[in-house]
Amino acid sequence: EIVLTQSPGTLSLSPGERATLSCRASQSVRNTYLAWYQQKPGQAPRLLIYGASSRATGIPDRFSGSGSGTDFTLTISRLEPEDFAVYYCQQYGSSPSLTFGQGTKVEIK
Amino acid sequence: QVRLLESGPGLVKPSETLSLTCVVSGDSLTRGYYWGWVRQSPGKGLEWIGSVSQTGGTYYKSSLRSRLTISIDTSRKQFSLKVTSATAADTAVYYCSRHGSVRGDYGINYFDTWGPGTLVIVSS
């Protein structure tokens, strides 16, 4: 099973700042099959990025994903008030064994 | 626009079977997509449980396989989850979800659509 480790656990930033979230895999993720999700309290996760860098339908372009192999990054170029949430990465390169990271909370500083 | 909605008992006794159903609206279950279940224990992260294809092929998390059954009824536009021998560790919000497509191919991959989730508590 591929273990995904996200860092930092919590990111304290102000609106307008840039957020950089990391997701590191215990082994190489085949074909950059990595997705990112946003989850707000009491809500289901929402798909942001798939294939490491492709934005899902309706996702603003301030969200971008990059990376390959074992290291992946989600960048939010300028934080909007609605972006403060928990973010999860998920790999599907070892499908049908799917795993998620433990999450990074982006909170208002 | 496809919508998913979970339903089932919110309280299950230990050692009994946890049963949930996901009803799909706005889409057919025969277009090739795979459908899955993800759970989230209180205050914790996300855990993939298992998935099912439109033809009934099933894929389970290895550590849970012995207790899981996922089935699909395309005519009723729903799929279901059963977890036998429930324990407190199965207490979680359960989400049903749809897998996406990768370059036009359907499979067990990312989740592009989610239900709102339903909380199941295992307690006597």
Residue B106 has pLDDT above 90, yes or no: no
Percent of chain B with pLDDT over 90: 85
Q: Do B109 and A47 touch (CB under 8 A)?
A: no
Q: Which of A60, A66, A65 is nearest to A78 (CA)?
A: A60
Question: Where does the pLDDT of residue B103 fall: very low under 50, low under 70, confident under 90, or very high at 90 and above?
Answer: confident
Q: Is the minimum CB–CB distance between A13 and chain B shorter than 8 Å?
A: no
Q: Residue B60: beta bridge partners?
A: B50
- What's residue B37's pLDDT? 98
Q: Which residue from B minimizes the CA distance to A86?
A: B45
Q: pLDDT under 50 in chain A at which residues? A: none
Pick from B45, B95, B108: which is nearest to A88 by CB? B45
Residue with tokens 């403060």: A84
- pLDDT value for B104: 84
Percentage of chain A modeled with pLDDT above 70: 100
Interchain CB contact of A99 with B (< 8 Å)? yes
Q: How far apart are CA A19 and CA A44, in angstroms?
A: 22
